Structure 1
Amino acid sequence: MADILADRFSKQLLHDFSRIVKQAHPGFNSEQFIQLVFDEHWTDKQLKQRIRHISTSLGQTLPADYDAAIEILSAISPQCSGFEYLFLPDFVELYGLPHWETSMQALAHFTSSSSSEFAVRPFIEQDPTRMLQQMLEWAHHSNHHVRRLASEGCRPKLPWAAPLRMFINDPTPILPILQQLKADESEYVRKSVANNLNDIGKSHPDLLKQVARQWLGHDPRTDWIVKHGCRTLLRKADPEVLALFGLSTTPDVTISQFQLSEKQVAIGDGLPFSFSVRSNSSSPQLLRVEYAIYFVKANGKTSRKLFKITENEFDHTDRTYTRTHSFKDLTTRKHYAGMHQLSIIINGVEQVTEAFEVTKPM
């Protein structure tokens, strides 16, 4: 995925960008900027390296005065919207640490058209107390992009970013930010809060469970955040979390008609399977229905991954589910030949399992 995204920093994009800069700042040397960006090492650079290289090239061609450079970039940012312009907040990360006030305004400004979630982290590392106070202020901002930055920027384990080990060790300083945003009107913000909670729960499950108990039952928007934030603990079938959401650790169910359409599937193809679920309880029973694939890894060992099918109330009626699991290689998952297993999971309890073989494509 990173390689695909790296290709979006095309010559056309950067030529267009340089023209926008020159319109706002006639003294900008667009030819020099393009030459600096597309040097002899450009094709060897990965995603984050390309972003940083563009930022460095801007630093060599914009005014040396940081405030003046930020004024130019801020003026053109409404015309530079999308992932491809992550180099704008990266410019702040690269050059702005000694210029706190200007950088805070720039990060809040750029996050609306791109995202400052990565660029904000060195400021946290430099002065966590001051930065957390700033993010708490952002959590009250009228712009939902800025409110999301308050939550997303302090995630302990933000993907594609260096972990914030101080918050992995002790996440309690970021809880006031999440508390402020726990019933935010924006789904965009609520997803970020849930993801932050999920990060916290990976290292501090007891703290997440404490927060979940305190937050549940007051607002439907908060309830969704808590449920999504507890998803890793739900996948692990944590008994306390299952009980918190009304899921029994000993579901009384019958799984019938479980079958795989084939005993072999080639890498690149799909494996259809089906099964039926019936509750044996005298009253409706809340069930979380998932299936698991035990994937063979490169070293020959297996690793289980869960896939949710539904979470619903069940009665004595059989409910049949048919799914097809794809074995196409992804940027995030490569498949290997060997004996795999597929299991049906109810409330974290493995009910039935069937083995099948994954083969190399013909």
Structure 2
Amino acid sequence: MSDAPALKEWFNAARYRWFADELASLTPRFDRKKFLAHTLPGLDERSLLQRIRRTSEAMSATLPADYPKALAVLKKLAPRFDHNFVTLVLPDFVGLYGHDDFDASMDALAFFTRFGSAEFAIREFLKRDLPRTLAVMERWSLDKNEHLRRLASEGCRPRLPWSFRLPALIADPSPVAPILENLRADDSLYVRKSVANHLNDITKDHPDWTLATLRRWTTKNPHTAWIARRALRTLIKAGHPEALALFGVKPGAFVRVENLTLSAPAITLGDRLSFSYDVTSTSSRSQRIVADYAVHYVKKSGDLSRKVFKLSEFDLPARSRVSLKKSQRFQNFTTRTHYAGEHRIELLLNGQSVASTSFMLHVTSPKSRLLT
């Protein structure tokens, strides 16, 4: 099976020629050759983020020097994109060159986020003037457009992936509270995912603050309840008593775990491993059970790295028995490289480790696979 094209290939030579043609049609004196001279040489060696940044630099070198006039051109360009991922370059231009015109930059980011995402660019302004930028984002959190409401939450996440951290908000999350309050029961799943991920970020530094916030919100609203459960996923996987209690789950479980079985004692990279086990209640009362599992991956150093995954959540009647099973494929991703060796599967019930077993993972090179 062939690999999917790398994300950076969205910014390839054909794309840059498209950029040049479109910008030339919007700007009478646009220097097409100069734009391509900025973007094409050395293209293969550049990462995705380097390609985005080089595009912004090329636009700065060829668009009108007057910032508002350059923004006017880019606003006309935005609807012409055939893929929202490529529009990342538009807010990147704002984040790079718009610091001296705050109001025009905020207006531009609000416009561009409707076509893609501006969460990385807004952080450049948060870093320079947190109160002023958060005041704008709080207004965005009340906007009728879901993309703008989502930006209000996503842009000020303290630990946004692919971006730099915001130390001031890691130290004290309270400045973002009004934004999260406004979005706590949002109709848009797109927005709710961001709010939940934002709160999950905060649990890593201020779990008590997050729990206090969610206790204050009524979870009778199904949208708020969804946010709360997703927001506390890290704490629930860790067996945090107060996080579990928020959903009527008691730490630990009165159960007996038996018959933990793997589909194979050893697998090869790319294969799927299945496991199953039985859970028998030893209690005279019904129990709410949160079943997770952890995979202990072998690292390059030979040490193990533990990652917890969700499995199931259910009510276990008194003295009853339930069988659980799961299947997982072991393959390389951009975020994970597998190494050969003895891995472990660990079972967790209500945050407590209840059983584990091991299996071998063999990693073969593409060449050796062709020979088998």
Q: Deviations over 1:82-112 (max 9, x none)?
A: 1112110000011101011111110000001
Query: Aligned to 1:203, what secondary structure does the other structure show?
Result: coil
How far apart, CA to CA, are the structure 2 residues paired with 1:277 and 1:28? Answer: 69
Matched, 1:354 2:351: no
Query: Aligned to 1:120, what secondary structure does the other structure show?
Result: helix
| 210-219 vs 329-338, which moves further | 210-219
Alignment root-mean-square deviation, CA:
1.7
| 2:194 equivalent in structure 1 | 192
How far apart, CA to CA, are the structure 2 residues paired with 1:84 and 1:190? Answer: 24
Corresponding residue to 2:239 among 226, 237, 243: 237
Query: Aligned to 1:119, what secondary structure does the other structure show?
Result: helix
| 1:255 equivalent in structure 2 | 257
Corresponding residue to 1:173 among 167, 172, 175: 175
Gaps in structure 2 of 5+ consecutive residues = none
TM-score (norm 1): 0.95
Tell me how many residue pairs correspond in the alignment. 361
Matched, 1:345 2:348: yes
| 101-110 vs 12-21, which moves further | 12-21
Shift of 1:215: 1.3
Gaps in structure 1 of 5+ consecutive residues = none
How far apart, CA to CA, are the structure 2 residues paired with 1:216 and 1:333? Answer: 38
How far apart, CA to CA, are the structure 1 residues paired with 2:170 and 2:263? Answer: 44
Q: Is the 8 A contact 2:237 2:292 kept in 1?
A: no
Q: Is the 8 A contact 1:216 1:226 kept in 2?
A: no
Q: Which amino acid aligns with 1:125?
A: K
Q: Deviations over 1:221-247 (max 9, x none)?
A: 111111111111111111111111111
| 70-79 vs 211-220, which moves further | 211-220
| 2:50 equivalent in structure 1 | 49
Corresponding residue to 2:288 among 276, 286, 289: 286
Q: Is the 8 A contact 2:203 2:210 kept in 1?
A: yes
Matched, 1:94 2:96: yes
How far apart, CA to CA, are the structure 2 residues paired with 1:2 and 1:69? Answer: 34
Q: Is the 8 A contact 2:12 2:43 kept in 1?
A: no
Query: Aligned to 2:6, what secondary structure does the other structure show?
Result: helix
How far apart, CA to CA, are the structure 1 residues paired with 2:263 and 2:124? Answer: 52
Query: Aligned to 1:7, what secondary structure does the other structure show?
Result: helix
| 127-136 vs 343-352, which moves further | 343-352
Identity over aligned residues, as a percent? Answer: 40
Shift of 1:358: 1.8
Matches of residues 23-102 of structure 1 in structure 2 within 5 Å?
23-39=25-41, 41-80=42-81, 81-102=83-104
Q: Is the 8 A contact 1:3 1:47 kept in 2?
A: no
Shift of 1:42: 2.1
How far apart, CA to CA, are the structure 1 residues paired with 2:207 and 2:326? Answer: 32
Shift of 1:324: 2.2
Q: Is the 8 A contact 1:215 1:226 kept in 2?
A: no
Shift of 1:2: 12
Q: Which amino acid aligns with 2:267?
A: V
| 2:138 equivalent in structure 1 | 136
How far apart, CA to CA, are the structure 2 residues paired with 1:343 and 1:166? Answer: 37
Shift of 1:330: 1.4
Query: Aligned to 2:204, what secondary structure does the other structure show?
Result: helix
User: Relative to 1, partners in 2 of residues 1:166 and 1:2: Cα closer, same or farther, differing over 3 Å?
Assistant: farther
Shift of 1:317: 4.4
TM-score (norm 2): 0.93
Matched, 1:116 2:118: yes
